[in-house]
Amino acid sequence: MTAAALPLVEQFSYGLDAPICLTWELTYACNLSCVHCLSSSGRRDPRELSTAQCQAVIDELQRMQVFYVNIGGGEPTVRPDFWDLLDYATGHDVGVKFSTNGVKITPAIARRLAGHDYVDVQISLDGATAGVNDAVRGPGSYAVALRAMRHLADAGFAGFKISVVMTRHNVGQLDEFRALADSFGAQLRLTRLRPSGRGADVWDELHLTAGQQRQLYDWLVEHGDSVLTGDSFFHLSGYGSALPGLNLCGAGRVVCLIDPVGDVYACPFAIHPAFLAGNVRDPGGFARVWRESELFAGLRQPQSGGACESCAAYGACRGGCMAAKFFTGLPLDGPDPECVHGHGERVLAMADTAAAPRPAGDHSHRTSPRRDPVPLTLSRRRPAEPAQPPSARSGDRGPGVPGVVPRGSRAGGRPPGLAGPARAMLRECGVLAAVLAVTAVLTVLTPPAAPARAAGPARAVPAARELAGHPRSG
Amino acid sequence: MACAVSTERPRASFDLDAAWQLAAQVQVRPERFGALLYHFGTRQLSFLKSPALLAVVRGLATQPSARAACRAADVPDAQLASYRRALGTLAAAQMICRREAT
């Protein structure tokens, strides 16, 4: 079989000369403290790439013909050089799609963005209502995101994206999200919650139930053409028909992550030494990491389906998400924790989840909100605390007031520890699940002498069926 | 300078005898399996699944017709229908456009 005769997905699984797109997190600094932040962002890392180093990376991406990057963080727009880097990238044939919580999208910035041909904007929003959104992203974050959307729409920025991480609490709002996007002339983008970064702490409470996964799948089958998914729900293909997209884990094969300090990881959801391939500051730069790292070479070898190989759905779901397995303590060659046939749950029940690898490199704010349980022995709560907001509940105490935070307390109400509007520290999670950020059209040559070729409509031609596969998402 | 009008016919009626070229906003990245095409205007990717198709696409701008570009890339006559269909897909995605239109 010649290389050209392999299905495209298999071609991709053996890797490309350069990523199709990559995620680049420009800073770990963020004004928000989203409970599920995939990169545990909050505080800037002193080792973050300088402006000149970022420009050198862009130069290299241009040489490698990486057509566009998905920029996130942290909140990338809090970097003072962000807008200049945006201009630098687009001026060097590298298109930019960036994720933001909207904090810096003023009317003037919105107009500037609207004038850019090669810039796409994603506003992160994890609830169609303030209550649902702010419980995950922090008080006031819904209002900030909506304000940014209004500014973009007023500036004539058509087709910006509203980017939603699906949770147990917002999956019932799919139609509302779509209506919201329609009202701004925007496009809806839905991605999967992963147990990455701080997401590991809230995954148990926020990830979709089995019934909700089915609900989401049915909704995507019905509306999939009008929403983007970052290709992140390919594990749901195990239900039956494949969702639009590549249905492939692209980690180290067609995508990767460059983090704020220049470390290159296999995917944005795998910030852990086990998936660290190198650093853009190493000799040979990013190109060498992409082309020569042992980690990526390994990922491009044929993968074993392990326990999944005997499952009839394996061809569709390919075993699911590597990062989801890793951070829940499951073997990489077994089922996804959210396997739609329940195999993941069964393995999880037997697994030593306490031994699951912890996400590395925590840049969370040290103060608000409180994330980890704090020993009660340190508790020294003052009896009279006048400024306590009325909505504060147990596990929802102000910063600097140690107390045990029950894990379950986060899902229903506000994130624990956020003290109220006066100190609404807004933060962006830079959720960038992208495998592909654009609609793609497969151009497939029909094999010569295919008997069905003469038979009329394109869909009847076997190879042409692939034409209908749109590895679109992002 | 981009494809001024996207009035390309459906794939079936792709005109092999017309003069075509890559659209101005499209970049080509060769890969082992063929190439990746990216359109900076539509943000679409296309995958050329054979090096021969890449050769055809690259030849469009200098050949008098798409048919001549196929011939120059040694595409056998028996495969011309496949190439026509592939080029039709690219035209529909505005990756290539009629030369006289620019």
Q: How many angstroms separate the CA of residue B64 from the nearest CA in chain A?
A: 23
- Percentage of chain A lying above the pLDDT 70 cut: 75
Task: Tell me the C-alpha distance between A68 and B38, whole Å.
Answer: 9
Q: How many CA atoms lie within 13 A of A415 on its CB side?
A: 31
Name the more confident of A290 and A381: A290
Answer whether B43 touches A (CB < 8 Å).
Answer: yes
Q: How many angstroms separate the CA of residue A1 from the nearest CA in chain B?
A: 12
A436 contacts B86? CB cut-off 8 A:
no
A95 contacts B40? CB cut-off 8 A:
yes
The predicted pLDDT at position A117 comes to 87
B40 within a domain of the structure (yes/no): yes
The predicted pLDDT at position A424 comes to 23
Rounded mean pLDDT, A102-113 = 98
Confidence band, pLDDT 50/70/90 cuts, at residue A302: confident
Interval A193-229: pLDDT, tens: 999 999 999 999 999 999 999 999 999 999 878 899 8
Interval A40-49: pLDDT, tens: 999 999 999 9
Least confident residue range of A289-298, A304-313, A353-362, A411-420: A411-420
Q: How many angstroms separate the CA of residue B60 from the nearest CA in chain A?
A: 17
B78 contacts A445? CB cut-off 8 A:
no
Give the pair of three-digit tokens for residue A165: 């991480």
Contacts of A161 in chain B (CB under 8 A): none
Task: Tell me the C-alpha distance between A301 and A15, whole Å.
Answer: 9
Chain A residues touching chain B at CB-CB below 8 Å: 3-4, 6, 8, 11, 16-18, 20, 65, 67-68, 93, 95, 117-118, 120, 436-449, 453, 458, 464, 467, 471
B29 within a domain of the structure (yes/no): yes
Task: Tell me the C-alpha distance between A186 and A175, whole Å.
Answer: 14
Answer whether B48 touches A (CB < 8 Å).
Answer: yes
The predicted pLDDT at position A315 comes to 86
A42 DSSP assignment: B
B39 within a domain of the structure (yes/no): yes
Q: Which residue of B has its CA nearest to A454?
A: B81
Domain carrying residue B85? 20-98
Residue in this structure with the two tokens 């979709």, named with its chain if needed: A208
B82 contacts A16? CB cut-off 8 A:
no
A16 pLDDT above the threshold of 60:
yes
Residue B12, H or E segment: none
On the 0-12 / 13-18 / 19+ scale of CB atoms within 10 A, A73 is buried
The predicted pLDDT at position A368 comes to 64
Give the pair of three-digit tokens for residue A43: 């505080």
The predicted pLDDT at position A446 comes to 34
B92 pLDDT above the threshold of 70:
yes
The predicted pLDDT at position A241 comes to 77
Task: Tell me the C-alpha distance between A355 and A4, whole Å.
Answer: 43
B29 contacts A11? CB cut-off 8 A:
no
B55 within a domain of the structure (yes/no): yes
The predicted pLDDT at position A284 comes to 96
Give the pair of three-digit tokens for residue A210: 């089995």
B69 within a domain of the structure (yes/no): yes
For chain A, give the mean pLDDT: 79
Contacts of A436 in chain B (CB under 8 A): 45
The predicted pLDDT at position A369 comes to 52
Q: How many angstroms separate the CA of residue A360 from the nearest CA in chain B?
A: 34
Q: Which residue of B has its CA nearest to A467?
A: B89
Confidence band, pLDDT 50/70/90 cuts, at residue B12: low
Q: Decide if A165 contacts A205 (C-beta within 8 A).
A: no
Helix (H/G/I), strand (E/B), else coil: A462: coil
B6 within a domain of the structure (yes/no): no
A171 pLDDT above the threshold of 70:
yes
Q: How many angstroms separate the CA of residue B97 from the nearest CA in chain A?
A: 16
Helix (H/G/I), strand (E/B), else coil: A243: coil
Other beta carbons within 10 angstroms of residue A261's beta carbon come to: 18
- What is the dihedral sign for C-alpha A162, A168, A174, A179? negative
Q: How many angstroms separate the CA of residue B96 from the nearest CA in chain A?
A: 13
What are φ and ψ of residue B78, in 5° steps?
-65, -25
B11 contacts A458? CB cut-off 8 A:
yes
Contacts of B90 in chain A (CB under 8 A): 441, 443
Task: Tell me the C-alpha distance between A103 and A97, whole Å.
Answer: 16
Contacts of residue B6, Cβ cutoff 8 Å, sequence gap at least 6: B94
Q: Select the residue from B25, B83, B85, B90 to test the A interface by mutation, using most A Cβ atoms within 10 A.
A: B85
Number of domains in chain B: 1
A439 pLDDT above the threshold of 50:
no
Q: How many angstroms separate the CA of residue B101 from the nearest CA in chain A?
A: 22
Residue in this structure with the two tokens 């910063």, named with its chain if needed: A399
**Complex-level ipTM:** 0.85
What are φ and ψ of residue B41, in 5° steps?
-85, -50
Interval A21-63: pLDDT, tens: 899 999 999 999 999 999 999 999 999 999 999 999 999 999 9
B51 within a domain of the structure (yes/no): yes
Q: Which of B70, B76, B44 is closest to B55 using CA atoms?
A: B70
Residue in this structure with the two tokens 């080792």, named with its chain if needed: A47
- B49 → closest Cβ in A8, A93, A464: A8
A445 contacts B82? CB cut-off 8 A:
yes
Q: Which residue of B has its CA nearest to A456?
A: B12
Task: Tell me the C-alpha distance between A193 and A224, whole Å.
Answer: 18
Rounded mean pLDDT, A339-366 = 88
Task: Tell me the C-alpha distance between B25 and A204, whole Å.
Answer: 45
Q: Hey, which residues does A279 pair with through a beta bridge?
A: A263
A449 pLDDT above the threshold of 60:
no
A467 contacts B89? CB cut-off 8 A:
yes
Rounded mean pLDDT, A418-435 = 23
Q: Decide if A42 contacts A138 (C-beta within 8 A).
A: no
Rounded mean pLDDT, A438-444 = 33
The predicted pLDDT at position A384 comes to 43
A342 pLDDT above the threshold of 80:
yes
A464 contacts B49? CB cut-off 8 A:
no
Contacts of residue A220, Cβ cutoff 8 Å, sequence gap at least 6: A190, A227, A229, A233, A236, A243
Give the pair of three-digit tokens for residue A238: 């195990």
B43 within a domain of the structure (yes/no): yes
Rounded mean pLDDT, A379-407 = 36
Name the more confident of A379 and A268: A268
Task: Tell me the C-alpha distance between B11 and B46, whole Å.
Answer: 15
Rounded mean pLDDT, A170-177 = 98
> For residue B85, what is the domain's CATH number?
3.90.930
Q: Hey, which residues does A120 pair with through a beta bridge?
A: A97
Confidence band, pLDDT 50/70/90 cuts, at residue B102: very low
For chain B, give the mean pLDDT: 87
Contacts of B56 in chain A (CB under 8 A): none
Interval A217-266: pLDDT, tens: 999 999 878 899 888 898 998 998 777 776 778 899 989 999 999 999 99
B44 contacts A443? CB cut-off 8 A:
no
Q: Which residue of B has its CA nearest to A118?
A: B40
CA A285 to chain centre: 25
Rounded mean pLDDT, B56-83 = 96
